[in-house]
């Protein structure tokens, strides 16, 4: 029996805007184009949704529904950075991650031994880590396949956690409206309603032959989803681009000595995350700093081929000399003011087997 988690960020773009500008938290806000340029709403927070505002709505119409609506212009770089951070947290739990979009992903945790194999405990950890490290909440659904996990993640939004256990699938699915099946839009729903089919229990009475005759290949999916079935596998297609570790501090830390000490303390967890059988090579090192005002900066350098080969072996054999990261601190600290609320360190990786001749040569010297 599989254990599938679906994680979905709550009003993601709006959540990032509220995080970076706390003054917006209690206001109706949306992210989208300007009304005078015929813009549309990309997303909005739950306060704005109470006014009937939703994604894809023209901004001008949204402002008529809620004149107090704060419309934020999109900041894709900030959203992408946060999304990458969230994905890095997912990858700490399992490599079986399928990224569906910038704000949602599936995780197959069937073979994860952490948390005694409990998908519920894993989900709670994910929610805690994502909110603690990024300031964004996620809604999580757990079940035996992708279809049910996605339904579950939407069941108790926002910031929800809902589980559809194997022995609950039959009862749960029987009353599920057909509109909840992914791919059933207004047209398909109307055709089903005309036949007196409004929920999955009623849909179960229709044969696969009848469904494929009317809906083509989608009829097979309808037949399966009506029974809570979904045989799709997790499609990872993921090449790890970096390995890193971060820590958010309860109180901001200040002073070069304290920050340097805190950075060195990240060496052990970084080594623990470095797979011994990794086929990729270290190509650069970086540190990440988030200041008290939530501004974030990353400093990255490419050491010499000899240093890279030595670093690769140190990480692989759990003997990292983290002092190599310290020179990056001076540059990083010069880019902001105030204390540090988050500190991170990591390595960027090359494409698999993409070794330069220089690195290959120095690897041989270090190995032998």
Query: 277 with 338, same domain?
Result: yes
Does any domain span residue 235? no
Residues marked as binding for Mg(2+)?
Answer: 8, 103
Mean pLDDT for each 10-residue chunk of the chain (368 residues)?
95 96 95 84 94 91 96 92 94 91 93 93 96 96 96 95 96 95 87 96 96 91 95 78 86 93 90 70 92 90 84 79 90 92 90 42 37
What is the domain-level CATH number for residue 174? 1.10.150.20
Q: Quick one: tokens of 57?
A: 């709505």
Query: 26 with 112, same domain?
Result: no
Query: 155 with 106, same domain?
Result: yes
pLDDT value of residue 311: 85
Residues marked as binding?
Answer: 8, 103
Number of domains in the chain: 4
Query: 188 with 201, same domain?
Result: yes
Give CA–CA dist 77/166, Å, rounded: 40
Residues comprising the chain, all counted: 368
Task: Say if CB 127 and CB 159 are below 8 A apart.
Answer: yes
CA angle at residue 236 from 107 to 282, to 5 degrees?
110
Does any domain span residue 323? yes
Task: Say if CB 208 and CB 231 are below 8 A apart.
Answer: no
Query: 113 with 207, same domain?
Result: no
DSSP 51: T
Which of 120, 140, 165 is the last residue in one of the domains?
A: 165
**Helix, strand, coil proportions of the chain in percent (round to 5)?**
45, 20, 35
Among the listed residues 17, 104, 168, 268, the single catalytic one is: 104
Rounded to the nearest 10 degrees, the angle between the axes of helix 305-316 and helix 357-367 is 50
Task: Say if CB 16 and CB 83 are below 8 A apart.
Answer: no
**Strand 29-32 to strand 70-72: parallel, antiparallel, or no bridges (unpaired)?**
parallel
pLDDT value of residue 368: 31
pLDDT value of residue 190: 93
* Range(s) of the domain holding residue 347: 242-367
Which of 138, 165, 192 is the last residue in one of the domains?
A: 165
Query: 248 with 357, same domain?
Result: yes
Query: 84 with 56, same domain?
Result: no
Distance between start and end Cα atoms, the chain:
46
Provide the 3-class DSSP secondary structure of residue 280.
coil
What is the domain-level CATH number for residue 319? 3.30.1490.100
Does any domain span residue 232? no
Query: 251 with 353, same domain?
Result: yes
Q: Which helix (H) or strand (E) holds 340?
A: strand 340-349
pLDDT value of residue 321: 85
pLDDT by residue (tens digit) across 130-160?
999 999 999 999 999 999 999 999 999 999 9
CA angle at residue 285 from 281 to 286, to 5 degrees?
145
Asked about 17 being catalytic, the answer comes back as no
């Amino acid at each position: 029996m599989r254990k599938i988690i679906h994680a979905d960020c709550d009003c993601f773009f709006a959540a990032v805007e509220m995080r970076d500008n706390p003054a917006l938290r209690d206001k109706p806000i949306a992210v989208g184009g300007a009304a005078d340029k015929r813009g549309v709403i990309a997303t909005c927070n739950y306060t704005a949704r109470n006014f009937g505002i939703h994604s894809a709505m023209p901004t001008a119409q949204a402002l008529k529904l809620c004149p107090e609506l704060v419309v934020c212009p999109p900041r894709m770089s900030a959203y992408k950075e946060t999304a990458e951070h969230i994905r890095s947290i997912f990858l700490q739990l399992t490599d079986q991650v399928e990224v569906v979009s910038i704000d949602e992903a599936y995780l197959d945790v069937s073979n994860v031994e952490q948390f005694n194999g409990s998908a519920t405990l894993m989900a709670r950890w994910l929610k805690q880590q994502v909110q603690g490290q990024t300031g964004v909440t996620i809604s999580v659904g757990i079940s035996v396949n992708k279809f049910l996990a996605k339904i579950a993640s939407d069941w108790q939004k926002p910031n929800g956690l809902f589980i559809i256990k194997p022995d609950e699938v039959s009862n749960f699915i029987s009353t599920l409206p057909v509109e909840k099946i992914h791919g059933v839009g207004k047209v398909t729903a109307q055709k089903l309603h005309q036949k007196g089919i409004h929920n999955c229990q009623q849909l179960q009475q229709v044969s696969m032959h009848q469904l494929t005759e009317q809906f083509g290949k989608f009829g097979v999916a309808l037949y399966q989803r009506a029974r809570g079935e979904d045989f799709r596998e997790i499609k990872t297609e993921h090449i790890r681009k970096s390995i890193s570790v971060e820590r958010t501090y309860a109180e901001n830390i200040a002073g070069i000595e304290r920050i340097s000490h805190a950075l060195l303390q990240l060496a052990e967890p970084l080594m623990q995350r470095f797979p011994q059988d990794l086929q990729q090579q270290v190509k650069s090192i970086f540190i990440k700093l988030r200041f008290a005002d939530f501004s974030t900066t990353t400093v990255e350098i490419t050491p010499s081929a000899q240093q890279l080969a030595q670093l690769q072996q140190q990480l692989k054999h759990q003997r990292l000399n983290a002092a190599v990261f310290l020179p990056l601190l001076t540059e990083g600290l010069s880019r902001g003011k105030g204390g540090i609320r988050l500190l991170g360190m990591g390595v960027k990786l090359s494409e698999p087997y993409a070794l330069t001749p220089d690195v290959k040569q120095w690897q041989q010297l270090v190995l032998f």
